[in-house]
Amino acid sequence: MAIVEGFQQEIKAKIIGFNAPFFISKAGSAHIFEAEPIDKRISFLNEIHAVKGVAGLQAVAFKPAMLQSQTFSDTIQVLQTKDSIVQRQDIFGVMFKGVDQNYSFDFLQKNLVKGRLLNTAKQDEIVISKAIAQKLNYALNDVVSVYYVKNQPILKKMKVVGIYETGFAEYDQKLVYASLPAVQQMNDFGTSISLRPLFDDKQLTIAAEVQGDAQKLIFDWGVGPEMYTAYRIAALKDTTYQVKALKVNPSTGVIEQIDQAQLTIQAPRPITYADLILDEAGQPLILIDGTTHQAIQTKYGPVHFYFKDGTGTKAQFISGYEVNITDFSALAQVQKELKEILEMRPVNGYLLQVNAIQDIEADLFAWLSFLDVNVLIIVVLMLLIGVINVGSALLVLIVLRTQFIGLLKALGANNRSIRIIFLYQASYLILRGLVIGNILAAALIWIQYQFKPFTLNPEVYYIDAVPVAFSWLHFLGINVLTFIVCMVALLLPSRVVARISPIKALRFQ
């Protein structure tokens, strides 16, 4: 009971440590890692905080990415020739989890083996697991290459500031912690715009490029809202263009500004399309190609473009809210109250859903529930063995005391009083066995809890040592159940006393 209860508690604690008992996301999301973005500005968050048993809410965001290993030497074994040493790099897929300053780092702090927790105000720090560090040859304070996909593959450099190890391979081999703003920037959450020059169809155009949700957007180029996403110009000259992206708030019906972008042009003189120098593909010859500064070559010298892209609304969007609770046993009641608050209440035109951890990790919890069946089978078998052993012991006592039984009957004792004598003797044996067994069990539980001499393979069991959890309820329950079942079972073998004849018993050798 102690091992199974400890195992279940340990696995549940690790699952909840990586996630939370509940996850609020957009309705229809299949898994938390695949949740569509939601606007974190939910008007009824206070109602969720007020639910009895809710300990707090944590805004999180997820993003799949690839980590590239440091360069390391590897030996290639070749038959019949000399082994070769090569330099190589590995790529490993992970899941980024973005958290902010309100996130509870207790679980991560408990399992941190090197370094420190990340600073959620910085976008270039990550905390990885020891398994990932070993697989990719990472060390503390290494600057690593992170590849992720938006409209195209993007490389981002991030620094390893902490390494954790839980022994829970299911998550240790895939979860990387980063700041929430960093993961929001990696995703296409929200809407943001940027201004870029276009040179298609032999025309000079300033176009507003939209990242993220572009539905129902309108633009203001300085002359009022309109639908046009581009502005055609006659020549490139020293000037600054600015555009604002607007959208109607579905809740209030008011037009709101969601982003703005700016483009500054510096040219030696007014440049027309005919003044551009083109490459073999018919595109302007690029001299500088950066994210904030570009330059192209013309007949009269370079034209410089300076970009000031909008920050957009990505900071308003997250994958969902994790909901922590004070008592895991109250999970069903809290979930019921959360559903009453969330369901059928639209947020910016969509509905929300709340998923319990048993639904998110259904396979793991189903596996844990099977352990209860195993415990039941083991307890029944051990009770059966106990009944057989104690019954055999009682029969031996009766046989060895046959003359004693005959003497008592000859003196006038009835069968019931004699049976009670033997049942008292049997109860003494049972209690003695229980005391010895409990002392041994308590000693083993304490030794394993303190020193963990019995280990496990974490790749199979998700933990590296046999867990134990002592419960007075289980302790008393097993002892009382064992005593009662054995004593009731002894009523049958004790009836042998009634069959013993006093005359034969006194002659028995």
**238 and 121 assigned to the same domain:** no
Summarised one tens digit per residue, pLDDT across range 356-412 is 999 999 888 998 889 889 899 999 999 999 889 888 888 888 888 878 878 888 888
Examine residue 9 and state whether it is found in any structural domain, yes or no. no
pLDDT category at 509 given cuts 50, 70, 90 is low
**209 and 288 assigned to the same domain:** yes
Q: Please report the pLDDT score of residue 87 as a whole number.
A: 60
pLDDT category at 48 given cuts 50, 70, 90 is very high
Q: Please report the pLDDT score of residue 398 as a whole number.
A: 83
**38 and 114 assigned to the same domain:** yes
pLDDT category at 149 given cuts 50, 70, 90 is confident
Summarised one tens digit per residue, pLDDT across range 463-498 is 888 999 999 999 999 999 999 998 988 888 877 776
pLDDT category at 291 given cuts 50, 70, 90 is confident
**431 and 456 assigned to the same domain:** yes
Cα 2 to Cα 440: distance, rounded to the nearest angstrom:
13
**133 and 239 assigned to the same domain:** no
Q: Residue 56: which domain range?
A: 20-189+315-360
Give the predicted TM-score (pTM) of the model. 0.77
Residue 323, burial from CB neighbour count under 10 angstroms (0-12, 13-18, 19+): buried
- 8 A C-beta contact, residue 450 and residue 351: no
**42 and 177 assigned to the same domain:** yes
3-class state of residue 83 by DSSP: coil
Cα 99 to Cα 117: distance, rounded to the nearest angstrom:
11
3-class state of residue 238 by DSSP: coil
pLDDT category at 168 given cuts 50, 70, 90 is confident
Query: In what helix (H) or strand (E) does residue 93 lie, and over which residues does it extend?
Result: strand 91-99
**261 and 281 assigned to the same domain:** yes
**214 and 332 assigned to the same domain:** no
Q: Please report the pLDDT score of residue 191 as a whole number.
A: 85
Examine residue 166 and state whether it is found in any structural domain, yes or no. yes
For residues 337-353, give the mean pLDDT.
Answer: 88
For residues 215-241, give the mean pLDDT.
Answer: 88
Number of domains in the chain: 3
Q: Please report the pLDDT score of residue 81 as a whole number.
A: 61
For residues 413-420, give the mean pLDDT.
Answer: 86
For residues 309-327, give the mean pLDDT.
Answer: 90
For residues 451-460, give the mean pLDDT.
Answer: 86
Report the DSSP beta bridge partners of residue 114.
Answer: 163
Backbone φ/ψ region at 124: left (φ over 0), alpha (ψ -120 to 50), beta:
alpha
Q: Give the CA count within 13 Å in the CB-facing half-sphere of 486.
A: 30
Q: Please report the pLDDT score of residue 492 as a whole number.
A: 83
**235 and 335 assigned to the same domain:** no
Cα 160 to Cα 16: distance, rounded to the nearest angstrom:
24
Q: Please report the pLDDT score of residue 299 as a whole number.
A: 93
Q: Give the CA count within 13 Å in the CB-facing half-sphere of 127.
A: 25
Cα 164 to Cα 130: distance, rounded to the nearest angstrom:
6
At which of 342, 360, 378 does a domain end? 360
Examine residue 11 and state whether it is found in any structural domain, yes or no. no
**30 and 44 assigned to the same domain:** yes
Burial 153-168 (b: 16+ CB within 10 A, else e): eeebebebbbbbbbbb
3-class state of residue 423 by DSSP: helix
Closest among 401, 431, 381, 403 to 494, alpha carbons compared: 401
Closest among 268, 283, 217 to 245, alpha carbons compared: 217
Burial 99-138 (b: 16+ CB within 10 A, else e): bbeebeeeebeebbebbebbebeebbbbbbbbbbbeebeb
Closest among 151, 195, 193, 192 to 305, alpha carbons compared: 195
- 8 A C-beta contact, residue 123 and residue 107: no
**173 and 297 assigned to the same domain:** no
Residue 54 confidence (pLDDT) above 90:
yes
Cα 300 to Cα 145: distance, rounded to the nearest angstrom:
40
- 8 A C-beta contact, residue 144 and residue 126: yes
For residues 317-340, give the mean pLDDT.
Answer: 93
Q: Please report the pLDDT score of residue 73 as a whole number.
A: 59
Tokens representing residue 158 in the block: 């991030």
Q: What is the mean pLDDT of the chain?
A: 88
